Structure 1
């Protein structure tokens, strides 16, 4: 019922948004002399700020049509190469010369945590010159009909394994934030089964492998409330008339509210500055604000079963580091991983996944040879800076590229190291 009321409120505001947009257009029209005055720009800025803070932001596009390979500009074509009801696998195909040595195949697993995969646009753009990039494009749960079934954490792991099979051998996988746990679980299962399509390298970035280490406000909230609280307070049914009407979901607007409340003062200041940029006719800074919030405020729903299982497994029970995580009844044992090189990346000021939470993967994977393990902590960046921004491009990307090019299939050792079993924690 609450979700339906939210939808009705949004619909009721539509006339006011249309009026505000008309006011903005009137007071920004260059033929209107008032638009050239401070007062006219203030009215237009007020109208735009109202419209932007009350609208629903649709799914953004990647819009990556060019990149630079071997110092030459080449065309990029976005293609769907694998599809399931809850996810599409996108490939950014580069128009490189025929016969050129192939770059590493890279599977970027985007977080399924409320934002669309386009949040990693900068990540994809930075890796395109060096790799054949693929990314998981998760589908908004409210857009998936009930007839397509459910989707939980076990299904998520199955999807990752299926995608690695579809991409073939010698693929490199990169998990950003939330997917670090299911990616590590998927790789462990593949190694346990002797799967020939196990990836060559696994890069985990800002992920909650062990949230007992340096817990953040997000981690503490989950432990304090417990899974029953989340089931009773944040799970709702998708409203009519969306295709997934009746499906139990964790609404994206609730996730967004949580993120924004963590740094509410910053968002208020950002919108105040945006207003002043508009009044002062500072178009460049105003456009930067629009670009960021067009992406940040675009959110998607998650299936309730996936959300609850993830919260319970990762944040409440800490099942993976304790050796208690299972997949369809089979215990996941990261100590079985021995052929996949491991690289972990953390941000010094990460307030979502605290320092040490991602690095914990090294302790869980003792049978990966020491020379195939690496960890890097990026100074002076928060969670977002781990996978986006200038420091990501200049400091982190070169390290990732060097790592994945060093551990392709051709560099694997012929003899498997002796296994060491890790006791449950």
Structure 2
């Protein structure tokens, strides 16, 4: 019922949003003498603020048409390399010379936790000059018809395994936040089966591997409620006229409400500052606000079965760190991971995944050789700063790329070839 009320409320505000937009254009029109007055700028700013705070934000575009490789501007084509009803695997194909040595292949697994994969646009942009990038573009559950069936945590793990097969051998995987658990489980399943497509390295960033360590407000809430509470209070059917009508989901607007309530004062201050930036005609600051909130306020629904299974497995029962997690009825054995290198990255001020929760993977994967392990804590960043922003670009990304290159089998084979030829001589 709440989802229907949300939709009705949004529809009821449409005429007022249209009026606000028209009023903004009236006061911004250079032919209007009031457009250069304090009153005119204040009215235009107020109307834009109202329109933006009542808008439904659509899925943003990656908009990465080019990158710089070897000092040269290189065209980038976004293509679908693999697809299933609940996810597309996007490949950012760079227009490089055919005789150029291949860069490492990186599968970037975006979180399925309310926001679209475009939240990692900055991550992709930073890594793209140095690697062949693939990213999971999860589909909004309200857009998937019921006829396409269910999607739960087991399906998520299966999807990740299929993506490794689609990309090919010697792939490196980076899991940002939520996917750290299913990615780690997928690698364990593959290595136990002797799958040659298992990744060469995995980087887990700000992920909830063991939420018993340094629990945050998010973790504590999950521990205080049983799974029945979540099922009864946050799961809702998709309303008409969306394609996924009647599909039970955890709505994105509920997840967004939770995110914003954690730092409500900061968001209110940001919108107040946005108003004054508009009045003062500080275009750069206003545009930065628009860019951030266009991304942050664009949210998607998750299937009920995936959300509930994740909450119960990861946050309530802590199955993975207790060696009790199952995939398709079989126990996920992290000790089976012997070949994939492991890098864990955490933010010092992370209020979503506390310090130590991701590092727990280092202790759980007991059979990875020490020379193939690395842990890094980035000072002075929160959860978002682990995968985006200046510190990610300047301090975290270089460490990830160095780790990837150090464990890339193609690079090792190329380095070994001259030695082999020398021995033959």
Partner residue in 1 for 2:398: 398
CA contact (8 A) 1:91 1:135 kept: yes
Match of 1:369 in 2: 369
| Deviations 1:374-402 (CA, angstroms, capped at 9, x unpaired) | 00000000000000000000000100000
CA distance in 2 between counterparts of 1:204 and 1:31 reads 55
Q: Residue 411 and residue 103 in structure 1: after superposition, are their counterparts in 2 closer, same or farther (change >3 A)? A: closer
| Contact 1:157–1:186, Cα closer than 8 Å, also in 2 | yes
SS in 2 for 1:80: strand
Distance (whole Å) between structure 1 residues aligned to residue 253 and residue 238 of structure 2: 12
Match of 2:238? 238
Paired residues of 1:339 and 1:412 also in contact (CA < 8 A): no
Deviating beyond 3 angstroms after TM superposition, the runs of 4 or more aligned structure 1 residues are 410-413
Counterparts in 2 of 1:410 and 1:105: CA distance versus 1, 3 Å:
closer
Which residue of the partner structure matches residue 17 of structure 2? Answer: 17
| Structure 1 residue 31, shift from structure 2 partner | 1.4
**What do you get for the CA RMSD once the two structures are aligned?**
0.9
Look up the match of 2:421.
Answer: none
What CA distance in whole angstroms lies between the structure 2 residues aligned with 1:305 and 1:71?
Answer: 47
Q: Is the 8 A contact 2:405 2:411 kept in 1?
A: no
Q: What CA distance in whole angstroms lies between the structure 2 residues aligned with 1:225 and 1:279?
A: 45
Scaled by the length of structure 2, the TM-score of the pair is 0.96
Question: CA offset at residue 409 of structure 1?
Answer: 2.1
Corresponding residue SS for 1:338: coil
What residue in structure 2 maps to residue 342 of structure 1?
342
Q: Which residue of 2 aligns with 1:418?
A: none
Residue ranges of structure 1 left out of the alignment (5+ in a row): 414-425
CA distance in 2, matches of 1:296, 1:365: 34
Which secondary structure state, in structure 2, belongs to the residue aligned with residue 135 of structure 1?
A: strand
Contact 1:237 1:246 in 2 (8 A): yes
Q: Is the 8 A contact 2:180 2:209 kept in 1?
A: yes
Q: Distance in 1 between matches of 2:197 and 2:371?
A: 22
1: distance between equivalents of 2:31 and 2:235? 50
Structure 2 Cα separation of the partners of residues 71 and 223 of structure 1: 50
Distance in 2, Cα, partners of 1:78 & 1:226: 42
Query: Distance in 1 between the 2:184 and 2:388 partners?
Result: 22
Deviation track 1:72-113 (CA, whole Å, cap 9, x = no partner) reads: 110111001100000000000011112100000000000000
User: What is the match of residue 71 of structure 2?
Assistant: 71
Residues 1:389 and 2:389 are matched in the alignment? yes
The correspondence of residues 235-384 of structure 1 with structure 2, limited to 5 A, is 235-384=235-384
What per-residue deviation string (whole Å, max 9, x for no partner) do you get for residues 249-303 of structure 1? 0000000000000000000000000000000010100000000000000000000
